Amino acid sequence: EVKRRIRSVGAFPDRASALRLITAVALEVTGVWDDRRYLDMSLLKSTPDTTAA
């Protein structure tokens, strides 16, 4: 995603503007992944502890 956006922008005027774009893309992607839940952790919390010996 970063590579695609960099290609569309072309050249950056300075290092700070490139860093802002990369940070914005990273935050956007992180937000998407935070919304996804692949494992319901509440099931693990409700089971009794069987590992204690």
Q: What is the mean pLDDT of residues 23-33?
A: 82
Q: Is 15 helix (H, G, I), strand (E, B) or coil?
A: helix
Write down the pTM of the prediction: 0.50
How many Å from the N-terminal Cα to the C-terminal Cα in the chain?
49
Please write the tens of the pLDDT for every residue from 5-27: 778 877 878 888 888 888 988 88
**Alpha helix (H) ranges present in the chain?**
2-9, 15-35, 42-46
